[in-house]
Amino acid sequence: MVYCGKPSKGCANCRKRKIRCDQTEPSCLQCQRAWFSCPGYRDPIELNFRDQSKDIIQKARKSVPHAKDESHIIKPDKENKDSRYKRILRPSTCPEPKRGHNTQINYALSTSPTDQSICVFLHNYAPDDSVVVKVYLTTSQIVSHAISSHAVRCAVSAIGLAVIANTRNEPNPMVEAREKYATALRLTNMALKNERKYLQDTTLSAVLLLGMFEVMACGAPKSVENWQKHIIGAAALLQIWESRQNLTFTGVQLFMQLRLAVMANCLRTQTHVPATIKRLSRFATLNRSEENIHSENLVSLVAEVSDLIADMKSDGMPDFVEVIQRARDIDEGLYAWSLNLSSRWKYTVHTYSGSQHLGPNHTLNGYYHLYPDIWACNIWAYYRTARILVNLVIRDRLIPPLKMQPKWQNIFDAARVNIERLSTDILLSVPFSISLRFSSSSFNDSGSRAGGCWGGYSILWPLYVAASVSTPDSPNRKWAIGRLEYIGHSMGIGQAFLMAKVVRNELPHESLSIYDYCRSYRSKVWTV
């Protein structure tokens, strides 16, 4: 440790602008006057004393020749699992030395479990700062929140430890992860009771991370209930956010990330989308570029799907003709949306040709989709999931009258074809979603970036729906189950294991969803 003198205690914005910072809590007056998001203040102890361990490690590594880093490539399934787990948990800046060289330095200079867990999260589940469409918080923003909020720091560490526990199949890291989670939960609850803190971006960030932990550590259906509680709590917090006259750019990012989780939960539980989400969505639309306004239009259409399913649950909507007409109107709106997309959102279909970045078992029957980036891939997955649900409504409501009124046969057949085609398209998008880490270069020539771990996290629910509506014992369903298990083992996402068990009918569908996506696919032979 080296004493570094007396540095400035002001916030980063004031230091950058070279003006005097008044250090007012929770944000300085200079930032408030300039309508900036104040990043908070540094720890005086950390400022006065600098840990030079990293400098020493870098000097030591320079003396050890390293192998070429291929951590961004996910090998075929036949690869040894232990080596795959080590690669995904090892930062790309710390490749393993070649065989024959002294490897004891890796153990002598190993970081603490907490530091390692934070590195695991940032390396695998934090979008890189270079991404063009900053829909979610990027690495530097998450680091800034972790520095200024102990709750965020503990939540990030808890997620990283859960990933380590799942990929290594070790119980001890999960025990420590739950301890970190309990601390983050306690600190977040304290912040929610503080009038100065519950409107801070870091508070909502902590709530979202707590929900993400439940997805990562998910070992039982109870975790899904806990995730739902965090999402509902965050949605309630948004009602207070509406009192703000201005939302920061970071606040809009947090809202869009939360909105996705809230709407997924509404579809899962057959409930209406909260009015707060719809009002803030209109505000978010004003802050989006014309190129990205299409995603906001899709949000409105998905909200209509959720509200339709909720109305059917609440009063049953006994007039099936009204249900069919309303569902068909929404489906036509979704289809029209897909036809009006610009080239920025277009994807292409490719055939596997022995690419070193993809194994044959990573593709669906030798085919896969290629997207401009992971955000475009996610948009298409949400669109397809919404259309599947609408066509499920049409198909299931037409089963009883179809036996007496054959005139509905064409609409019924169209719904079945749509479900099959859309579910297959979701499966074809999975290779792109999970092939590479977010921060790695892509395997294609166009320069786009695949999803990796973050893509695996984002594709979970669409993949689960696509697997559920595939016919029992079909190759597509078996392939989808294999991808869910791959995501669980290789990326440390515990909920993927639970989903695989539900699709295999080892657990009841209520374990994950109140809406039975595969209601009519439980028998091997599907008949009307």
Same domain, 465 and 495: yes
Average pLDDT over residues 173-179: 93
Same domain, 218 and 354: no
Count CA atoms within 13 Å of residue 221 on its CB side. 11
Does 469 map to a domain?
A: yes
Q: Find the range with the poorest average confidence among 54-68, 282-296, 512-526.
A: 54-68
Same domain, 191 and 253: yes
Question: Which helix (H) or strand (E) segment is 153 a member of?
Answer: helix 150-168
Top mean pLDDT of 11-20, 36-45, 116-125, 379-388 is at 379-388
Does 453 map to a domain?
A: yes
Range of the domain at 423: 291-438+446-521
Same domain, 347 and 456: yes
Confidence at 94, pLDDT banded by 50, 70, 90: very low
Q: Find the range with the poorest average confidence among 103-107, 174-178, 257-261, 372-376.
A: 103-107
Same domain, 258 and 339: no
Q: Is the pLDDT of residue 444 over 70?
A: no
Tokens of 312: 């059917």
Specify whether the CB–CB gap between 13 and 39 falls below 8 A.
yes
Domain finish residue from 220, 254, 287: 287
Q: What is the per-residue pLDDT across 261-319, written as a single tens digit (0 to 9) for each?
A: 899 888 888 889 988 888 888 776 666 666 667 788 899 999 999 999 998 876 667 77
Same domain, 282 and 295: no
Does 26 map to a domain?
A: no
Same domain, 261 and 171: yes
β-strand partners of 97 = 66
Domains contained in the chain, number: 2
Q: What is the per-residue pLDDT across 340-387, written as a single tens digit (0 to 9) for each?
A: 888 888 899 988 777 655 666 678 888 889 898 888 899 999 999 999
Does 257 map to a domain?
A: yes
CA–CA gap between residue 507 and residue 462 (Å, rounded): 19
Beta strand residue intervals within 202-314, DSSP E: none
Q: What is the per-residue pLDDT across 203-222, written as a single tens digit (0 to 9) for each?
A: 889 999 999 999 999 878 88
Same domain, 296 and 270: no
Tokens of 471: 């016919």
First-to-last alpha carbon distance for the chain, in angstroms, is 74
Contacts of 66 (CB under 8 A, 6+ apart): 95, 96, 97, 98
Does 361 map to a domain?
A: yes
Note the pTM of the prediction, 2 decimals.
0.75
Q: Find the range with the poorest average confidence among 173-187, 204-218, 512-526.
A: 512-526
